[in-house]
Amino acid sequence: MTDKIRLRTAIQSHLDHGRSRPSAALLAAVVAAGIAAPDMAADQQIGARAFAAEVDAIGAPAPVGFADIVARVKPAVVGVRVKIEEAPPSDEDQQEDTFPPGSPFDQFFHHFGIPIPRHPAPQSGVALGSGFFISGDGYVVTNDHVVTRGKSFEVTADSGKTYPAKVIGTDPQTDLALVKVDAAGTDFPYVRLAPEIPRVGEWVLVVGNPFGLGGTVTAGIVSARGRDIGAGPYDDFIQIDAPVNKGNSGGPTFNVKGEVIGVNTAIFSPSGGSVGVAFDIPAETVKLIIGQLKEKGHVTRGWIGVEIQPVTPAIAEALGLKNARGALVAELEPNSPAAKAGIEDGDVVTSVNDESVADSRDLARKIAAMAPGTATKIGIFRNGQEKTITVTLGVFPRTQVEAEEHKSTREAPVLGLSLAPARAVPGAGDRGVVITAVDPNGRAAESGLQVGDIIVEIGRHAVNTPAEVRKRVDEAHAKSNRAVLLRIKRGDTMSFVAVPSS
């Protein structure tokens, strides 16, 4: 049916109902259609034509909404309430759903020169976040930074009912945590993780507990994939533009099928509120980590023991590589799996089990995803030639870090310093030894060393464990050196500090 026929039909219906009031905008549409009705009175023609245009407008298809999806997934989303171990001494130090000092996300906010979002919580000693059920028996996924320092935990369901909960396990490296609701015999509604990586531009829905306002829904699209925000070696975030605010951390982001494509973990915001830049942990990472937390209570990762850096175009040209891809081995850890297998400083890792390595982050993710003890084919480029070396993966970081931490607690302080491996301290990186305490009357304090400083080298030798620090200090004593030269990293600044050896 043409526009003219439709309009004429509507005009007649209009007249039959005795309507005649005109609409200027709609009259213009009718005039543009070139319809004449000489047998009608002028005011009747105007009113009828306006009504006809209204009828056509009503006939247009309505925009698609998200109500059906929300109704299906919202019951599985929960609020997480955490009573922290100690109430902060002041409102300024108290945090609600934010990043504790030393969090790997501190580096991200510092890099962009914006304040780290730490806002007063609504109640003393309480942190708020979001989460979601992944099984009917009460397992809840949330963020590590939501439950960190927690003393007791509660989960509030969409129905408003509150349940006590306990933490099954956490993984600070990916900022994920698994919580179990204590409600025997209850069958909770739950959601599934998406099996596919979302495409940029796809619709997404965020459901969570921003500012304690449970059951809040926002919508947007996937803005980017594979984002590295400086949070750690396994950064692979999905960027979305759906509004995400304080209290959304740990909550799910859904696709239009009602599947979880990611877990909200960080925002970019100069003001602390949503500006349309939020970051999600991908569902594939969540599936891998949560599976281990449920089974073992912790995450065990493969490890080869190399310090790596990206291959820039200039480095690729200098090494004779055709493309700036792969990961350059900057340093080998002594007696590490890579060192034992024959990998050398300056090698470029190009593949793992015949899968191409894009960059240093890609290598870290591939190795971490495999079980310790796995015999792995590492493709390298050395002196213009490609070769394959089989490396049996070691365990990183949990088993070795705990051993170092236990050892450091039994040993006397070195130079008046209590120490821990950097990889055992969230946000400190994988290189060096962190100062965890300073004897105010000791030699190190007199030299200006502070808690949080990272000892990178002693006497121009790299150190990564408290035992290596002690070894280098003992060597200085044996040589009767009056002072020990330490290379220190403080924030983004590197400097040398001489500490008296006796």
Orientation angle between helical segments 24-33 and 42-58, nearest 10 degrees: 90
Got the DSSP string for 154-194?
Answer: EEE-TTS-EEEEEEEEEETTTTEEEEEE--TT-------B-
pLDDT at position 63 = 57
Q: Omega into 397 within 30° of 0, i.e. cis? A: yes
Tens digit of each residue's pLDDT (9 = 90 or more) over 152-189 = 999 999 999 999 999 999 998 899 999 999 888 889 99
The model's confidence at residue 199, banded by pLDDT at 50, 70 and 90, is very high
Alpha-carbon distance of 173 to 303, in angstroms, equals 14
Mean of all residue pLDDT scores within the chain: 79
The residue extents of the domains of the chain are: 3-58, 63-299, 301-395, 398-500
Which option is the CATH number for 301-395: 2.60.40.3950, 3.30.420.40, 2.40.40.20, 2.30.42.10? 2.30.42.10
444's enclosing H/E stretch is helix 443-446
Distance CA 298, CA 167 (A): 11
Residue 14's alpha-carbon distances to 51, 191, 293, 342, in angstroms, are 7, 51, 68, 88
Backbone angles phi, psi at 211, to 5 degrees: 55, 25
Pick the residue with more confidence: 363 or 2? 363
CA 216 – CA 70 distance, rounded (Å): 10
Is the omega angle on the peptide bond into residue 310 within 30 degrees of 0, that is, cis? no
What is the Cα–Cα distance from 288 to 310, expressed in whole angstroms? 25
- Are the beta carbons of 215 and 77 closer than 8 angstroms? yes
Q: Active-site residue among 20, 145, 274, 347?
A: 145
φ, ψ at 446 (rounded to 5°): -65, -25
CA angle 199, 172, 410 (to 5 degrees): 160
Judged by DSSP in three states, 274 sits in coil
d(CA 137, CA 143): 20
pLDDT in tens, 155-165: 999 999 999 99
CATH topology classification for 398-500 = Pdz3 Domain (2.30.42)
Place of tokens 């299906």: 72
Active site residue 447: no
CA distance 329 to 362: 14
Whether the per-residue pLDDT at 14 is higher than 70: the answer is no
Q: Please choose, from the candidates 470, 461, 468, the residue with its C-alpha nearest in 3D space to the C-alpha of residue 412.
A: 470
Question: Of the residues 97, 175, 241, 453, which is catalytic?
Answer: 175
Residue 158 a catalytic site member: no
Give the least confident one: 59-73, 369-383, 401-415, 471-485: 401-415
Report how far residue 293's alpha carbon sits from residue 166's, in angstroms, rounded to the nearest whole number: 13
End-to-end CA distance of the chain: 99
Token output for 335:
């007696």
- Catalytic residue check, 68: no
Mind listing the pLDDT tens digit for each residue in 349-373?
999 999 999 988 889 889 988 888 9
Rounded alpha-carbon distances, angstroms, from residue 240 to 24, 140, 262, 303, 353: 42, 22, 10, 31, 32
Res. 401: pLDDT tops 60: no
- Return the SS3 of 493: strand
pLDDT surpassing 90 at residue 243: yes
Tell me the average pLDDT across 56-73: 75
pLDDT in tens, 417-453: 888 788 766 567 778 988 877 877 777 888 888 888 8
63-299 and 301-395 agree in CATH topology: no
User: Read out DSSP for 311-346?
Assistant: --HHHHHHHT-SSS-SEEEEEEPTT-HHHHHT--TT
What is the length of the chain? 502
Does residue 167 contact residue 178 with C-beta atoms inside 8 Å?
yes
Query: Exposed e or buried b for every residue in 273-295, given b needs 16+ CB within 10 A?
Result: ebeebbbbbbbbbbebbbebbee
Distances from the Cα of 17 to the Cα of 3, 13, 51, 182, angstroms: 21, 6, 11, 65
CA atoms within 13 A on the CB side of 5: 2
**How far is Cα 491 from Cα 110, in angstroms, rounded to an integer?**
9
Return the structure tokens found at 124: 């003393």
- Per-residue pLDDT at 104 exceeds 70: no
Identity of residue 243: P
Cα distance between residue 66 and residue 1, in whole Å: 33
Q: How many CB atoms lie within 10 A of CB 298?
A: 14
More confident residue, 330 or 50: 330
The first and second tokens of residue 180, run together, are 């179990």
Could you tell me if 151 and 205 are in contact, meaning their C-beta atoms sit under 8 angstroms apart? no
Between 2.60.40.10, 3.40.50.920, 3.40.50.261, 2.40.10.120, what CATH number should domain 63-299 receive? 2.40.10.120
* Integer Cα distance of 123 and 203 in angstroms: 35
Interval 206-226 mean pLDDT: 93
CB 301 within 8 Å of CB 374 = no
Spot the catalytic one: 20, 103, 249, 269.
249
pLDDT in tens, 261-287: 999 998 887 777 788 899 999 999 999
What is the structure's pLDDT at 126? Answer: 87
Cα 196–133–249 angle (5° rounding)? 80
